[in-house]
Amino acid sequence: MPTAYLSHPACRRHDMGPGHPECPQRLDAIEDWLIASGIDVALQRHEARPVDLVDVERAHTRRYVGEISALLQELAASGESKAIDPDTIAMPHTWSAALHAAGAAVQATALVLDGEADNAFCAVRPPGHHATREQAMGFCFFNNVAVAARYALDVRGLKRVAIVDFDVHHGNGTEDIIANDERVLMVSIFQHQLYPFSGAVPKGQNMVNVPLPAYTRGMDVREMIEAMWMPELERFKPEMVFISAGFDAHRDDDLGQLGLVEADYEWITLRIKGLAERHAKGRIVSCLEGGYHLGALARSVGAHLRVLAGI
Protein backbone atom coordinates (compact mmCIF):
# COMPACT_ATOMS: atom_id res chain seq x y z
CA MET A 1 0.00 0.00 0.00
CA PRO A 2 1.17 3.56 -0.63
CA THR A 3 2.24 6.31 1.70
CA ALA A 4 -0.61 8.76 2.24
CA TYR A 5 0.23 12.45 1.84
CA LEU A 6 -2.22 14.87 3.43
CA SER A 7 -2.41 18.64 3.08
CA HIS A 8 -4.96 21.38 2.41
CA PRO A 9 -4.87 24.82 0.74
CA ALA A 10 -5.99 26.39 4.02
CA CYS A 11 -2.62 25.50 5.54
CA ARG A 12 -0.94 27.80 3.06
CA ARG A 13 -3.23 30.78 3.70
CA HIS A 14 -2.16 31.12 7.34
CA ASP A 15 0.49 33.87 7.12
CA MET A 16 2.13 35.49 10.14
CA GLY A 17 3.64 38.34 8.15
CA PRO A 18 6.63 39.33 6.00
CA GLY A 19 9.90 37.80 7.12
CA HIS A 20 8.34 35.30 9.51
CA PRO A 21 10.21 31.98 9.26
CA GLU A 22 7.07 29.87 9.62
CA CYS A 23 5.82 30.99 6.22
CA PRO A 24 3.49 29.60 3.53
CA GLN A 25 6.45 29.12 1.18
CA ARG A 26 7.53 26.16 3.31
CA LEU A 27 4.75 24.06 1.81
CA ASP A 28 5.50 25.35 -1.69
CA ALA A 29 9.14 24.29 -1.34
CA ILE A 30 8.13 20.78 -0.30
CA GLU A 31 5.63 20.46 -3.15
CA ASP A 32 8.15 21.65 -5.73
CA TRP A 33 10.79 19.20 -4.52
CA LEU A 34 8.41 16.24 -4.52
CA ILE A 35 7.44 16.94 -8.11
CA ALA A 36 10.98 17.65 -9.31
CA SER A 37 12.39 14.54 -7.62
CA GLY A 38 9.62 12.23 -8.80
CA ILE A 39 8.62 11.23 -5.26
CA ASP A 40 5.16 12.66 -5.89
CA VAL A 41 4.09 9.75 -8.08
CA ALA A 42 4.61 7.27 -5.22
CA LEU A 43 2.29 9.11 -2.82
CA GLN A 44 -1.44 8.72 -2.27
CA ARG A 45 -2.73 12.27 -1.96
CA HIS A 46 -5.61 13.24 0.31
CA GLU A 47 -7.11 16.67 0.96
CA ALA A 48 -7.29 17.05 4.72
CA ARG A 49 -10.62 17.43 6.44
CA PRO A 50 -11.12 19.84 9.37
CA VAL A 51 -10.81 18.32 12.80
CA ASP A 52 -13.78 17.72 15.06
CA LEU A 53 -13.22 19.80 18.20
CA VAL A 54 -14.18 16.77 20.28
CA ASP A 55 -10.94 15.19 19.07
CA VAL A 56 -8.98 18.34 19.96
CA GLU A 57 -10.39 18.22 23.50
CA ARG A 58 -8.70 14.86 24.05
CA ALA A 59 -5.36 16.69 24.04
CA HIS A 60 -6.30 20.22 25.16
CA THR A 61 -8.58 21.40 27.94
CA ARG A 62 -12.14 22.26 27.00
CA ARG A 63 -11.60 25.79 28.31
CA TYR A 64 -8.57 26.33 26.09
CA VAL A 65 -10.31 24.90 23.03
CA GLY A 66 -13.26 27.18 23.65
CA GLU A 67 -11.13 30.28 24.17
CA ILE A 68 -8.76 29.81 21.22
CA SER A 69 -11.64 28.79 18.95
CA ALA A 70 -13.59 31.92 19.86
CA LEU A 71 -10.55 34.12 19.26
CA LEU A 72 -9.63 32.58 15.92
CA GLN A 73 -13.21 32.70 14.67
CA GLU A 74 -13.45 36.34 15.73
CA LEU A 75 -10.31 37.15 13.73
CA ALA A 76 -11.65 35.21 10.75
CA ALA A 77 -14.79 37.34 10.85
CA SER A 78 -13.10 40.70 11.48
CA GLY A 79 -10.12 40.33 9.16
CA GLU A 80 -7.77 41.44 11.94
CA SER A 81 -4.64 39.84 13.38
CA LYS A 82 -3.52 39.38 16.98
CA ALA A 83 -0.19 38.44 18.56
CA ILE A 84 -0.49 35.42 20.85
CA ASP A 85 3.16 35.83 21.86
CA PRO A 86 6.08 37.71 20.25
CA ASP A 87 6.53 34.94 17.67
CA THR A 88 2.99 33.62 17.17
CA ILE A 89 0.47 35.65 15.19
CA ALA A 90 -3.16 34.66 14.73
CA MET A 91 -4.74 36.11 11.58
CA PRO A 92 -7.99 35.66 9.63
CA HIS A 93 -6.95 32.36 8.00
CA THR A 94 -5.43 30.79 11.10
CA TRP A 95 -8.68 29.20 12.24
CA SER A 96 -9.16 27.20 9.05
CA ALA A 97 -5.48 26.28 8.88
CA ALA A 98 -5.40 25.02 12.47
CA LEU A 99 -8.54 22.95 11.93
CA HIS A 100 -7.15 21.33 8.80
CA ALA A 101 -3.68 20.74 10.29
CA ALA A 102 -5.09 18.82 13.25
CA GLY A 103 -7.69 17.25 11.00
CA ALA A 104 -4.98 15.92 8.70
CA ALA A 105 -3.27 14.17 11.63
CA VAL A 106 -6.51 12.49 12.74
CA GLN A 107 -7.47 11.59 9.17
CA ALA A 108 -4.01 10.13 8.53
CA THR A 109 -4.32 8.03 11.67
CA ALA A 110 -7.65 6.65 10.48
CA LEU A 111 -6.27 5.89 7.01
CA VAL A 112 -3.37 3.92 8.44
CA LEU A 113 -5.42 2.08 11.06
CA ASP A 114 -8.06 1.21 8.47
CA GLY A 115 -5.41 -0.31 6.23
CA GLU A 116 -5.84 2.24 3.44
CA ALA A 117 -2.19 3.30 3.67
CA ASP A 118 0.96 1.80 5.16
CA ASN A 119 1.96 5.12 6.70
CA ALA A 120 1.27 8.82 6.23
CA PHE A 121 2.88 12.24 6.13
CA CYS A 122 0.95 15.43 6.91
CA ALA A 123 2.34 18.48 5.09
CA VAL A 124 0.54 20.98 7.29
CA ARG A 125 0.95 24.23 9.11
CA PRO A 126 0.65 25.70 11.67
CA PRO A 127 2.86 23.16 13.44
CA GLY A 128 1.79 21.78 16.79
CA HIS A 129 4.37 20.47 19.23
CA HIS A 130 4.71 23.64 21.33
CA ALA A 131 0.97 23.92 21.99
CA THR A 132 0.37 22.82 25.58
CA ARG A 133 -2.89 21.69 27.11
CA GLU A 134 -3.84 25.30 27.78
CA GLN A 135 -1.60 27.57 25.72
CA ALA A 136 -0.79 28.46 22.12
CA MET A 137 2.88 29.30 21.66
CA GLY A 138 5.90 28.84 19.42
CA PHE A 139 3.95 29.15 16.13
CA CYS A 140 1.52 26.43 17.37
CA PHE A 141 -2.22 26.49 18.17
CA PHE A 142 -3.42 22.85 18.31
CA ASN A 143 -0.99 20.03 19.05
CA ASN A 144 -1.52 17.97 15.91
CA VAL A 145 0.48 14.90 16.94
CA ALA A 146 -0.95 14.77 20.46
CA VAL A 147 -4.49 15.08 19.09
CA ALA A 148 -3.83 12.19 16.69
CA ALA A 149 -2.17 10.04 19.36
CA ARG A 150 -5.08 10.46 21.75
CA TYR A 151 -7.50 9.65 18.90
CA ALA A 152 -5.63 6.40 18.30
CA LEU A 153 -5.79 5.52 21.99
CA ASP A 154 -9.18 6.82 23.08
CA VAL A 155 -11.24 6.28 19.93
CA ARG A 156 -9.50 3.49 18.05
CA GLY A 157 -8.57 1.45 21.11
CA LEU A 158 -4.79 1.13 20.79
CA LYS A 159 -2.98 0.31 24.00
CA ARG A 160 0.47 1.81 23.36
CA VAL A 161 1.73 4.49 20.98
CA ALA A 162 5.11 6.17 20.64
CA ILE A 163 5.80 9.78 19.77
CA VAL A 164 9.15 10.54 18.15
CA ASP A 165 10.18 14.22 17.99
CA PHE A 166 13.37 15.21 16.16
CA ASP A 167 12.71 18.94 15.85
CA VAL A 168 15.58 21.18 16.97
CA HIS A 169 13.26 22.66 19.63
CA HIS A 170 11.94 20.65 22.56
CA GLY A 171 8.33 19.55 22.11
CA ASN A 172 7.23 21.05 25.39
CA GLY A 173 3.56 21.08 24.43
CA THR A 174 3.47 17.38 23.61
CA GLU A 175 5.32 16.61 26.82
CA ASP A 176 2.83 18.70 28.81
CA ILE A 177 -0.11 16.83 27.29
CA ILE A 178 1.11 13.24 27.58
CA ALA A 179 3.32 13.39 30.70
CA ASN A 180 2.78 10.24 32.78
CA ASP A 181 0.25 8.78 30.35
CA GLU A 182 1.53 5.20 30.53
CA ARG A 183 0.03 4.45 27.12
CA VAL A 184 2.50 6.83 25.44
CA LEU A 185 6.28 6.78 25.21
CA MET A 186 7.79 10.03 23.92
CA VAL A 187 11.38 10.13 22.70
CA SER A 188 13.00 13.34 21.52
CA ILE A 189 16.18 15.10 20.60
CA PHE A 190 16.55 18.87 20.77
CA GLN A 191 19.15 21.58 21.15
CA HIS A 192 19.69 22.75 24.72
CA GLN A 193 19.53 25.61 25.67
CA LEU A 194 17.18 26.79 22.94
CA TYR A 195 13.54 27.87 22.83
CA PRO A 196 11.41 26.93 24.72
CA PHE A 197 14.24 26.36 27.25
CA SER A 198 12.74 23.15 28.62
CA GLY A 199 13.22 19.41 28.45
CA ALA A 200 16.40 18.94 30.49
CA VAL A 201 14.23 17.54 33.29
CA PRO A 202 11.38 15.42 31.87
CA LYS A 203 7.88 16.04 33.20
CA GLY A 204 7.02 12.35 33.32
CA GLN A 205 8.40 8.82 33.52
CA ASN A 206 7.26 8.13 29.96
CA MET A 207 9.83 10.46 28.34
CA VAL A 208 13.26 9.90 26.87
CA ASN A 209 14.58 13.43 26.41
CA VAL A 210 18.00 13.81 24.77
CA PRO A 211 19.22 17.42 25.08
CA LEU A 212 22.04 18.19 22.64
CA PRO A 213 24.63 20.95 22.84
CA ALA A 214 24.89 23.36 19.93
CA TYR A 215 26.92 22.14 16.95
CA THR A 216 26.27 18.44 17.61
CA ARG A 217 26.72 16.61 14.30
CA GLY A 218 24.81 13.78 12.73
CA MET A 219 26.98 10.83 13.75
CA ASP A 220 26.83 11.88 17.40
CA VAL A 221 23.05 12.24 17.16
CA ARG A 222 22.80 8.76 15.64
CA GLU A 223 24.85 7.28 18.49
CA MET A 224 22.63 8.92 21.10
CA ILE A 225 19.46 7.74 19.38
CA GLU A 226 20.85 4.20 19.19
CA ALA A 227 21.84 4.22 22.85
CA MET A 228 18.93 6.13 24.40
CA TRP A 229 15.85 5.93 22.18
CA MET A 230 15.97 2.52 20.63
CA PRO A 231 16.20 0.27 23.72
CA GLU A 232 13.24 2.03 25.33
CA LEU A 233 11.19 1.92 22.13
CA GLU A 234 11.93 -1.78 21.68
CA ARG A 235 10.86 -2.50 25.27
CA PHE A 236 7.70 -0.43 24.89
CA LYS A 237 6.58 -2.19 21.67
CA PRO A 238 4.30 0.59 20.38
CA GLU A 239 1.28 -0.36 18.30
CA MET A 240 1.64 2.85 16.29
CA VAL A 241 4.31 5.52 15.92
CA PHE A 242 3.69 9.24 15.56
CA ILE A 243 6.48 11.54 14.40
CA SER A 244 6.83 15.25 15.10
CA ALA A 245 8.93 15.78 12.00
CA GLY A 246 10.84 19.00 12.45
CA PHE A 247 13.72 19.54 10.02
CA ASP A 248 15.23 22.63 11.66
CA ALA A 249 18.10 20.63 13.16
CA HIS A 250 19.58 20.73 9.65
CA ARG A 251 22.97 22.40 9.52
CA ASP A 252 21.68 25.03 7.06
CA ASP A 253 18.78 26.14 9.28
CA ASP A 254 19.40 29.40 11.14
CA LEU A 255 16.82 28.78 13.89
CA GLY A 256 19.10 26.24 15.51
CA GLN A 257 22.75 25.26 15.64
CA LEU A 258 22.71 21.50 15.17
CA GLY A 259 24.41 19.76 12.27
CA LEU A 260 22.04 17.20 10.75
CA VAL A 261 21.84 16.66 6.99
CA GLU A 262 19.46 14.78 4.72
CA ALA A 263 21.28 11.47 5.25
CA ASP A 264 20.68 11.76 9.00
CA TYR A 265 16.94 12.23 8.52
CA GLU A 266 16.98 9.22 6.21
CA TRP A 267 18.77 7.16 8.88
CA ILE A 268 16.40 8.24 11.66
CA THR A 269 13.38 7.42 9.51
CA LEU A 270 14.82 4.00 8.65
CA ARG A 271 15.32 3.19 12.35
CA ILE A 272 11.78 4.27 13.21
CA LYS A 273 10.30 2.45 10.23
CA GLY A 274 12.10 -0.72 11.26
CA LEU A 275 10.73 -0.40 14.79
CA ALA A 276 7.21 0.13 13.43
CA GLU A 277 7.52 -2.93 11.19
CA ARG A 278 8.58 -5.08 14.15
CA HIS A 279 5.94 -3.94 16.61
CA ALA A 280 3.27 -1.76 14.96
CA LYS A 281 2.47 -3.41 11.62
CA GLY A 282 4.45 -0.58 10.02
CA ARG A 283 1.94 2.03 11.18
CA ILE A 284 3.47 5.53 11.21
CA VAL A 285 1.88 8.98 11.02
CA SER A 286 4.38 11.82 10.56
CA CYS A 287 3.43 15.50 10.89
CA LEU A 288 5.49 18.45 9.76
CA GLU A 289 6.79 20.65 12.57
CA GLY A 290 9.78 22.97 12.02
CA GLY A 291 12.21 23.49 9.16
CA TYR A 292 12.80 27.03 7.94
CA HIS A 293 15.59 26.93 5.37
CA LEU A 294 13.43 26.21 2.35
CA GLY A 295 15.97 24.17 0.40
CA ALA A 296 17.07 22.09 3.37
CA LEU A 297 13.46 21.57 4.41
CA ALA A 298 12.40 20.34 0.98
CA ARG A 299 15.35 17.97 0.60
CA SER A 300 14.97 16.61 4.13
CA VAL A 301 11.23 15.97 3.73
CA GLY A 302 12.11 14.24 0.47
CA ALA A 303 14.59 11.96 2.26
CA HIS A 304 12.01 11.23 4.97
CA LEU A 305 9.32 10.40 2.43
CA ARG A 306 11.58 8.20 0.32
CA VAL A 307 12.04 5.94 3.34
CA LEU A 308 8.38 5.98 4.31
CA ALA A 309 7.33 5.16 0.75
CA GLY A 310 10.09 2.60 0.24
CA ILE A 311 11.52 4.21 -2.90
SS (H, E, C) the chain: CCEEEEECCHHHHCCCCCCCCCCCHHHHHHHHHHHHHCHHHHEEEEECCCCCHHHHCCCCCHHHHHHHHHHHHHHHHHCCCEEEECCEEECCCHHHHHHHHHHHHHHHHHHHHCCCCCEEEECCCCCCCCCECCECECCECCCHHHHHHHHHHHCCCCCCEEEEECCCCCCHHHHHHHCCCCCEEEEEEEECCCCCCCCCCCCCCCEEEEEECCCCEHHHHHHHHHHHHHHHHHHHCCCCEEEEECCCCECCCCCCCCEECHHHHHHHHHHHHHHHHHHCCCCEEEEECCCCCHHHHHHHHHHHHHHHHCC
Q: What are phi and psi of 141, to 5 degrees?
A: -120, -55
Asked about 8 being catalytic, the answer comes back as no
**Radius of gyration of the CA atoms of the chain, in A:** 17
Q: What are phi and psi of 85, to 5 degrees?
A: -150, 180
Q: Burial of 53 by CB count in 10 Å (0-12 exposed, 13-18 middle, 19+ buried)? A: middle
Catalytic residue among 8, 130, 169, 279: 130
The CB density around residue 18, as the number of other CB atoms within 10 Å, is 6
The CB density around residue 224, as the number of other CB atoms within 10 Å, is 15
Residues with catalytic annotation? 130
